[in-house]
Amino acid sequence: MASSGIFIDRYADQMHSTGLEPQFHASAPSPVFEHIGEAQTAEGPRAEISRDRELAWWRRILPVLKSHRFTFLGAITFSFVSLIFQTLVPKILMSAVNRLTPGHHQPIQGIVTLILIIGVLAGITGYLSRRFLFVTAYNVEADLRNLMYEHLTWLSFSFFDRVQSGQLISRANSDIRSVQMYFTFAPQIIVQCSIGIIAFAFMLSINVVLALIAMVTMPLLYLVGIKMRRVMFPISWIIQARLADVAAIVDENINGVRVVKSFAQEEAEINRLGDAAEKVAWAYTKDADIRGQWAPWVQNLPQLGLALVLFFGGWMVIDGRTPIGAIIAFNAYLLMLQAPFMMLGQLVMMGQRARASAERIFEILDEVPDITERPGAVDLLDVKGEVVFDNITFGYSDGAAILDGFSATFAAGESVALVGRTGSGKSTVARLLARFYDVREGAITIDGRDVRDVTLPSLRATVGLVLDEPFLFSVSIRDNIAYGRADASLEDVENAARAANAHDFIMSMPEGYDTVVGERGYTLSGGQRQRIAIARTLLVNPPILILDDATSAIDVHVEAEIHDALEQLLEHRTTLVIAHRISTIALAKRVILLEAGRVVAEGTHEELLANVPLYAEVLAQTTSEAL
């Protein structure tokens, strides 16, 4: 897994060999493939989770925690020292009280000073403990978030086809936060509970009988905690899953707001979100009900021990068998132990929620990409651009085959148009060539080399894809165009924009190329987005170019101007044009007609129009759909 920055792939000497100079004339790509890595400014995760799925959830995350062991051990050490200081106070206080009892009047100024010093030291070590602990917890949270994001970038398209983006957002935020909170508070509570051993030792040194009486409720408290943990886990999982459902609905409504409003379905979506929110409320209510049943036991059992100490200790004081200072010390020790035990219920709840969240995170991190590089994969170098589809069979997921025996050959530097009805597999051909998916049967080769035998970065740099629904980032227009070449100069960006007929409308905007587009580029028209997407691909200058209905949202007059520029740029590259308009088909020298995932005819536009009735029928159908 790469963690050293975002790789931007290009061909060396593009500025000169590709014509990305002021004239922006294309020529043959450079024969040397290079990885140009953007300098990483943020520190990446220091470790990965354990891949052993048989381990407990916290043991799987333990390697990440170990990578921050120095701050974590510092937090635990300072917390332990702080609590030791606190446990000294009751025994010193007992000594002071005993000195003030009748017949034992002695000065206590030294004891008061000692208590003040211990209090200051306890405060300093407590502060250091909390600081180191929170630093550790937030670093673990950042590492888990980075690990998840890196893994998401490596997962295949098939994964994103079946998983809602809202689910992923929820797991990358609320689920990771649940794990982080547990790592923040659990160590503190555990240390406070473990300090009970020291407190118990002090209690034994004061009075063995009272110490045993004070701890008589502890076994019962342990059994209650075990039972509470078992009943909390299922509802914790349900809460996190239903929170993710709400996030998914919100994400869909934000991204699909234009569809919702165009069909006047605002109330229906409000009802859908309301139903999901009610399910979350039910889960939280059930969670509160369970805690309401079990938390009082956890909180009040230590108080029962305090009552027993007061009862039997008072009887011992009256009987003269123990000094009154011992009762005060025992009371202080029990109050000191009561706080962590009162938080034990909260710890159990947080632990079960963290466990549920961790397992949901592992569902993502344990996902294996479908598209991976084979051992010994090599870079595509000196690409001429010959593409061969050899008897391809492919279908999405486990569905019916979209392509069934598809075969086609594209000569180097040739422009070919794919024409077919909706669902005939045209866009699928483009996705397979870029290896977004792997074929079920057959092979795809570039210059005689199977695309499964080459490195993914070099393949994606070789095959440039302009989609019919272009995605723009919420950054400046210049950054959107230069996305594939972050080192491109403004002159290069402008030349690419001119070739895509986008320069004029960009310059008419308030800040020109520095204008920041809105979410997904929706502050621009569809045609403007498509032109920027075309410029973005042209700037990278791939030897193989796929135009997937890339001018569908562009006015026919603007499209004609773009085509004039593209005709020169396509001379030295293999171009696959997925077309619906006759004007777009004109960019290609040859046309392939698809029907039911197979090639049924091929030739020039004029030849097919004159000799293949199906071709004219498909053109008429696609033209009417476009209108």
For the ranges 290-304, 348-362, 535-549, which has the lowest average pLDDT?
Answer: 290-304
Chain centroid to CA 193: 35
Q: Identify the pLDDT of residue 453.
A: 92
pLDDT band at 347 (very low <50, low <70, confident <90, very high): confident
Say how far apart CA 199 and CA 210 lie, in whole Å: 13
Say how far apart CA 411 and CA 590 lie, in whole Å: 11
Q: Is the dihedral of CA 473, 476, 477, 478 positive or negative?
A: negative
Q: Looking at the predicted structure, is the pLDDT value of residue 375 above 80?
A: yes
Q: What angle do CA 523, 526, 530 make, to 5 degrees?
A: 110
Report the SS3 class of residue 444: strand
Which backbone phi and psi does 424 adopt, to 5 degrees? -80, -15
pLDDT tens for residues 156-187?
A: 888 887 877 777 877 888 888 888 888 877 88
Across the chain, mean pLDDT equals 78
Token match 């020169």: residue? 568
Q: Are 22 and 499 in contact (CB under 8 A)?
A: no
Within the chain, all domains assigned CATH 3.40.50.300 are found at 387-626
Within the chain, all domains assigned CATH 1.20.1560.10 are found at 68-365
pLDDT band at 389 (very low <50, low <70, confident <90, very high): very high
Q: Looking at the predicted structure, is the pLDDT value of residue 32 above 70?
A: no
Q: Identify the pLDDT of residue 387.
A: 93
Chain centroid to CA 47: 17
Q: Looking at the predicted structure, is the pLDDT value of residue 596 above 80?
A: yes
Which backbone phi and psi does 448 adopt, to 5 degrees? 85, 0
Kindly state the greatest CA–CA separation across the chain.
124
pLDDT tens for residues 235-285?
A: 877 887 787 778 777 776 766 665 666 556 777 777 877 888 888 888 888
Give me the architecture of the 387-626 domain, per CATH: 3-Layer(aba) Sandwich (3.40)
Report the SS3 class of residue 539: helix
- What phi-psi label fits residue 171: left (phi over 0), alpha (psi between -120 and 50 degrees) or beta? alpha
- What phi-psi label fits residue 312: left (phi over 0), alpha (psi between -120 and 50 degrees) or beta? alpha
Q: Identify the pLDDT of residue 18.
A: 36
Instruction: Take residue 3 and report the two structure tokens written for it.
Output: 């963690």
**Comparing C-alpha atoms, which of 343, 65, 54, 298 is closest to residue 193?**
343
Contacts of 450 (CB under 8 A, 6+ apart): 443, 444
Q: Looking at the predicted structure, is the pLDDT value of residue 229 above 80?
A: no
546 CB-side CA count, 13 A: 24
Q: Identify the pLDDT of residue 550.
A: 62
Whether the predicted model's global pTM rises above the 0.85 cut: no
Fold (topology level) of 68-365 = ABC transporter transmembrane region fold (1.20.1560)
